[in-house]
Each structure stands twice: as structure tokens, then as C-alpha cells.
Structure 1
Amino acid sequence: MTSLDGVLAPILTPYGDDLAPDPVRFVALARWLMDQGLGLAPFGTTSEGNSLSVEEKMALLDALAEAGLDRGRMMPGTGCCALTDSVRLSAHAVARGCSGVLMLPPFYYKTVSEDGLFAAFSEVIQRVGDSRLRVYLYHFPQQSQIPIGHALIERLLAAYPGVVVGLKDSSGDLSNMVSLCRAFPGFKVFAGTERLILPVMRAGGAGCISANANIHGAAMLALVRGWRDAGAEAMQAGLEGFRAVMEGMPLIAALKAVTAIRTGDAGWRRVRPPLVGLPVDKEAELLARLKSVGVLF
């Protein structure tokens, strides 16, 4: 087990009135999540990572470091369309002591070859040039339209053993996650949804990185830690009911609305365009639905 096994929260990014990232709120949420035993995966999809500049991401990671939070339990997203941006973010994460980086493939061009993807990841690794770098690939084909297949993973593991060490699979395809666990022993596979924690852990997975960990991560961590226990099936069923409630809402706006209610801080409702906040009537509906599955705020 490493410091990144378990459950990582893709932490929400708060904004001020001017829509600039708010490091004070960011650190407060990070501390609350980490106090529950969770790790952090900032600057991915849920963090509105592709709506943030390189400088903004670096400044927020600096704020976490300066607050004394454990970067050994952090896996910031560093995959960008521009090679040099991925290099800067990855090098900064290593310098700040993060245990790994979560790397999307360059996602603008949709018809790139496996050779092109291999070259992109390889170039980042070589330019960072730091033996401490640990890369977790980010497989999210519905969003990126660029899948990360077994053949590419095999090439990267052969070329960069001990550097390319795992993957977050947000495809929702259980058979792919199980296949990865079996094909690449020791390769750390994280389910991208709490719906699949139990079967992925049974297949040899490392844990879960789910947007919903921002509000219900402790329950996910309990299942990751107790997947062998007699009550594991019941815990999984409870998480599936919770996930079903959240899937009926625009996820980032819903998570921010719940965080605003939990903290009493209305500023948490802000999202960056093109996203829009959750309407008031939808907030009431969401709270009622969460209450119906035993999740209260």
C-alpha cells in the first residue's frame, strides 16, 4: 500500500466574486477531506481543471503545501493539450512532493495514433527528468474522446518501469478495469465511480477516485478498507443508491451546492463559465433525494 491507495477526492475549486480561484476556501476543503483519511486529486474534471490556467493550478498547489497538508497523499491532474503545460505542471507537482500526477492524454486532436500518444507521454516524462515522478494515466474516453488502451499501457510500462504506475478509469466499464488489474499485476487501477469499488477491489484494484468523495468520501473509504468484510455488499449497495441520486443532477454544480449548504458559505456555489450554478429549486430537490438515501447535510 502507498499513500495514494484508498479514496482520493477530485477536490472542488472555489472562486471569489471575480471568478479567481480562492485559496482559503480551497485549503479549508482540502483539510476537511484529508482529515477524513482521503487523498486529493486536484485539477481534474471535477476541479474544473481545464477551466484553470497553469499558473492558477500551480498557485493552488502551493497553497496546499504552504498550509502544511500532506502532498504525499496528493495526485494533481497535469495532463494538458500543450506539451509544455503538462511538463510545467508535472515538474511542479514533483517539486512540491506529490506522490503522483494524474495525466490526461492530449485531447484536442481526436484521431491520433497509439504512436502519437506514446510520444506525448514519453516526452513529458523525459522533459520532467526526475526519478521521483510517478504517472497515473487518466482514461476517460467519454470526455476526452482519446482512450488509453492496453497496448499503449504495455508500451509505457516497458519504457518507463516505476514511473508509469497506475490509471484512473472513468469509463464506467468494469470489464476494462478488471482486465487491467489482471493484465498488469502491480499496476494501480482506481475506479472512477463508487458504483464499482467492490468489484474493482476484488479484482486487485487500488481504490477509487470519485467526484462524489467531495461530500461522501468517508463512506467510500470505509468500503475500500472493508471490502473483505461481511457487510461489504451492503456498503456497496448504499453507495450505488447515493450515486444514483447524484447522477440525476449536473454534478459539479450539485457538489458545490451541497458544499455551500454544509459549510454555510454561499460562495461555494460559484462555477466558471461555461458551467452554470444549480437552480434553487434543484437544490431543494437534491437535498430531499439525498435525505431519502440517508445522506444528510
Structure 2
Amino acid sequence: MKRLYGVTTAMVTPFDKDGQVNLDKVQQLTEFLIGKGVHGLFPLGTTGEMVRLSVAERKSVAETVVRTASGRVTVFIHAGAATLEDTVELAQHAHAVGADGVGVVTPFFLGANDLELERYYVTVASALPDDFPVYLYNIPQCASNDLKTEVAERVQAACKNVVGIKYSYPDFLRTNEYLSINGGEFSVMQGADRLFLPALAMGCDGVISGVSCVYPEPFVAVYNAYLEKDLDKARELQRIAIQYCEVLRSGANMSYFKEALKLRGIDAGFMKAPQLDLTEAEVRELERKLSLLPTF
């Protein structure tokens, strides 16, 4: 089964001014990212404003990314939704349209206990073929539910297609626990862009990065330097990547991602209400800060 690795980009979702998904711009963004050398694509997650999209819209985006990528990079569709039924439907759709796998965030907003989380994931994974890979996705600061190591272990033991986890919280003790699942054969993808290099050193397979949707270059360069065992170069590149994270606010406000992409010549559309686009003054300040950063 395929696994995620290297720089897997969490994609924004381009909307028109009226809030409709713009699939032409989804296609253009997909081509841009592949051209910049990312290793994988992860649409429709937190960075993709998934909670603002209908099931039908999410299916259309998934189809567009898979079709455009056409096997050139690994594509895992994020399928986690507000209901179990929608999650299963989206995961099965991802398989049907030719995605390489899916990611599934924990149930969000309403609290779920350990047993509920376990049964949720077992139900989703069991609704898919045994050879179709699933990544768990733990982002407790947003989802309000934390996936403990022992729960992830039980899910993996019950469902062999659960091959890894995206962990978007800066806790290296927990990260190390995840890495021990399945005798150390459990794939862990770091979700905190600023921790990419140290996560690689711990044994993680890579990063699922929102900032790389705008500036893939520093992250791809970090990974290449790490593979070349040039740690001094990798450290310097990681410091540069962190500067980009700081200017772009690490995904705390996706309008920074979309406006920065426009500054790069990639029209990523607008935010979907109730989120607002940046003001002209904010865009000018963003452009000024980006102009001070190292270029690739």
C-alpha cells in the first residue's frame, strides 16, 4: 500500500466571490504544486476549508485533483466530515475516483471518548478495501478530540489498511509513541510545518504542510538536503522555511495563503464566508514582508 512521504501539500480550495468552488483554479493549483516538486497532495483538509464545503463540492474537488495529478504524485483525499455517514461516503468516493488513499480527521467539535473514536475509525476503514490506505488525522486544538496512542494502536490492529497518522500538534513525546505502533512500521506525517526537519530526524516520513501550498520550494529543499545527509544545509533551509511560516501565519488564516499565491501569479480565489479576504493594506504589508525573505 502506498504511504505518504516527503513534502505532501495540504491544498487550499479556491472559491469564486460568490462562494462557489472554482475547479479551473483547483486544476491550476495542482499543476503549480506538481511543477514545484512536491511529493504528494492532500486536498480538502483544514487548509482546504473542508467544513465550508458540501459533500458534492468535496467530491468535485477530489475528482479534479486526482484527474489533474494523473499519477504524477501521490494523492490522498481528506475525507473526514461532520458525520460518520458523510465520511464513509467521501472515503469510498476517493477510492472510486482513483485516489491513492484517504486521510480522516477525528470527529470534531462535539466530544468523543476513546471507545467512540475507535469505533468511528474502524467503521470508516472497514468500509474500504483492505489494500486502500487510510491515515488517521489528529489535530486536537481544532477538532476538540485527541487521538491517544493506545486508541490508534487498537484501530491499526483491527484494520490493516490504517497505515499511518497525520499529527498536527507540536508534541514530540506523542509523536514518538505513534512511531512505535505496529512494531515501528506505522507512518507518521508531521502536520506542524515548523517541525519538519526534527520530525524527519525522529523517523517521521515527512510533512503534510499548508505553507508549502504557497511556497513549496523551501520544504522540498529541506527534504532533499536531509536525504543527502547535509544536515547543516537542512538546518539553514528549515530556518528559512520557518520564516515563511511566520509571515504566512502557519495557516491560522487561509486568506494569507490565497493572497500570497496571487502574488506568485497563481489565482487561488477568495475566502468563503464567514471568513474575509485580506484588505488592500494587509495585502501590501504581506507583499512587503515576503519581499524580505530569501528566494529560491
TM-score above 0.5, yes or no: yes
What does 1:1-297 correspond to in 2, within 5 Å?
Answer: 2=2, 4-38=4-38, 39-67=40-68, 69-70=70-71, 73-110=74-111, 112-128=112-128, 130-161=129-160, 163-184=161-182, 185-227=184-226, 228-230=229-231, 231-247=233-249, 250-263=252-265, 265=267, 268-295=268-295
Q: Which amino acid aligns with 2:262?
A: A
- Greater RCO (Cα-Cα under 8 Å, separation 6 or more): 2
* Secondary structure of the corresponding residue to residue 24 of structure 1: helix
Q: Alpha-carbon deviations, 1:1-20, whole Å to 9, x = none?
A: 95631111111111123321
Structure 1: segments with no counterpart, 5+ residues: none
Runs of 4+ in structure 1 off by over 6 angstroms are: none
Name the SS for the 1:67 alignment partner.
helix
Structure 2 CA distance for partners of 1:275 and 1:154, relative to 1, 3 Å? same
CA apart distance, 1:156 = 0.9
**Deviation at residue 264 of structure 1 after TM alignment:** 6.3
The aligned amino acid for 1:25 is K
- Judge conservation of contact 2:211–2:251 (CA < 8 Å) in 1: no
TM-score by length of 2: 0.91
Per-residue displacement from partner, 1:53-89 (whole Å, max 9, x unpaired)? 1111111222234435328611111011211111111
Would the alpha carbon gap of residues 248 and 137 (structure 1) be closer, same or farther in structure 2, given more than 3 Å must change?
Answer: closer
Q: Is the 8 A contact 2:5 2:205 kept in 1?
A: yes
Kept in 1: contact 2:17–2:269 (CA 8 A): no
Paired residue type of 2:213: N
What secondary structure is seen at the aligned counterpart in 2 of 1:273? coil
Distance 1:192 1:248, change over 3 A: closer
Q: One-letter code of the match for 1:246?
A: L
CA distance in structure 2 between the partners assigned to 1:254 and 1:47 by the alignment: 13
Kindly provide the CA deviation profile for residues 245-295 of structure 1, in whole angstroms up to 9, marking residues without a partner as x.
222885300010111222264xx3411011111111111111211222224
Cα contact 1:31–1:69 (8 A) shared by 2 = no
RMSD (Å), alpha carbons? 2.1
Any idea what SS the aligned residue of 1:79 has?
A: coil
The share of aligned pairs that are identical, in percent, is 26
Deviation larger for 207-216 or 55-64? 55-64
Deviations 1:79-125 (A, max 9, x none): 11211111111011112222221101121321x22111111111112
SS at match of 1:226: helix
The structure-2 alpha-carbon separation of the partners of 1:42 and 1:249, relative to structure 1 and needing over 3 Å to count, comes to: closer
Corresponding residue SS for 2:122: helix
Q: What one-letter code is carried by the residue in structure 1 that aligns with 2:257?
A: L
Deviation at 1:142, TM superposition (A): 0.5
CA distance in 1, matches of 2:254, 2:282: 13
Note closer, same or farther for the CA distance 1:137–1:68 as it changes in structure 2 (3 Å cut): closer
**133-142 or 256-265, which deviates more:** 256-265
Instruction: Give ranges in structure 2 of 5+ residues lacking alignment.
Output: none
The letter for the 2-side match of 1:136 is: Y
Change over 3 Å in CA distance of 1:287–1:248 after alignment to 2: farther
SS of 1:76 mapped into structure 2 = strand
Paired residue type of 2:171: D
Q: Are 1:105 and 1:138, in contact at CA under 8 Å, matched by a contact in 2?
A: yes
Q: 1:103 touches 1:138 (CA, 8 Å); kept in 2?
A: yes
Pairs aligned (count): 291
